[in-house]
Amino acid sequence: MTTNRTPASPFGRALCAMVTPFTASEALDLDGAQRLADRLVSQGCEGLVLNGTTGESPTTTDTEKADLVRAVREAVGERAAIVAGVGTADTRHTVRLALDAEKAGADAVLVVTPYYSRPPQDAVEAHFRTVADASGLPVMLYDIPGRTGTRIEPGTMLRLAEHPRIVAVKDCSYDFLGAQKVMARTELAFYAGCDEHALALYAVGGAGCVSTVANAVPRRLRAVLDAFDAGDTARAARLQQQATELIELAMCSSLPGTVTVKGLLGALGLPSGPVRAPLRPADHETVEELSAAYERLVSYD
């Protein structure tokens, strides 16, 4: 049995919010990034989101951001879409990063709501329109009010959906009703930005997910969506539920996902390296808990 579900997924369905590997001295590890990107794509990721929250964008330079996009493009070729995070609290800076990403070979840009200054909705809308007008790349809006302090309100989303280059949303709003209202009235492709919502949002017409936990278990997160598309909704639910323990440890603890996932990747011998200050590495106990949950999860396969 297969479903008749054909959501628009402009960057694929299973996307990974990739960590940015660093060397022991905290320099950008482009070789490690290429190896990690190749592994992620080979194991089911249809798109990679670079220079996002998980990619430690607040502590990487503009040059490092562009270099990372170029290196990953070289590693994965056309096997996966590359969405480059370019959002900042400064519209002019965001435009420059979008143009840099376009030159470096990105397929699209991820633009977060301007943070800290808490602009009103008309200013939020103007910010996104300015960035979308600046380059030829499609735009994925990033709605994460828990970090930025400002929501992209559903009414603002509806207006932004009229822009020809604003095509998708990474939804971390925790407003499931609001997301459904916008999906029902627009063609915006909604990607779950919270791993625990991946299947739920997909089931009501979402385009897929942008997963942090996929850095460690890309096959598993892809399998959830594949099972749903094959019409085996019971299997999709079971696969999502089995991942809950690891998702909770990685994403819902007191530590940022970047810290937990890099700790797990390091334990698995995969490219990751340290986090940059002000973040601090996960402690030994946390890494042991993550590793045990990982082993339990992969034992189901």
- The residues that are catalytic are 142, 170
| DSSP H/E element including 101 | helix 91-104
Rounded Cα distance, 123 and 230, in Å: 43
Let me know if 277 is exposed, middle or buried by CB neighbors in 10 A (0-12, 13-18, 19+): exposed
3-class secondary structure, 126:
helix
Let me know: does 201 contact 190? Beta carbons within 8 Å.
yes
Bridge partners (DSSP) of residue 112 are: 142
DSSP 206-263: --EEEESGGGT-HHHHHHHHHHHHTT-HHHHHHHHHHTHHHHHHHHSSSS-HHHHHHH
Rounded Cα distance, 122 and 135, in Å: 21
Number of H helices, E strands in the chain: 13, 8
Query: 38 CB contacts (<8 Å, ≥6 apart)?
Result: 75, 76
Rounded Cα distance, 111 and 86, in Å: 6
Let me know: does 15 contact 49? Beta carbons within 8 Å.
yes
Rounded Cα distance, 38 and 300, in Å: 24
Rounded Cα distance, 96 and 92, in Å: 6
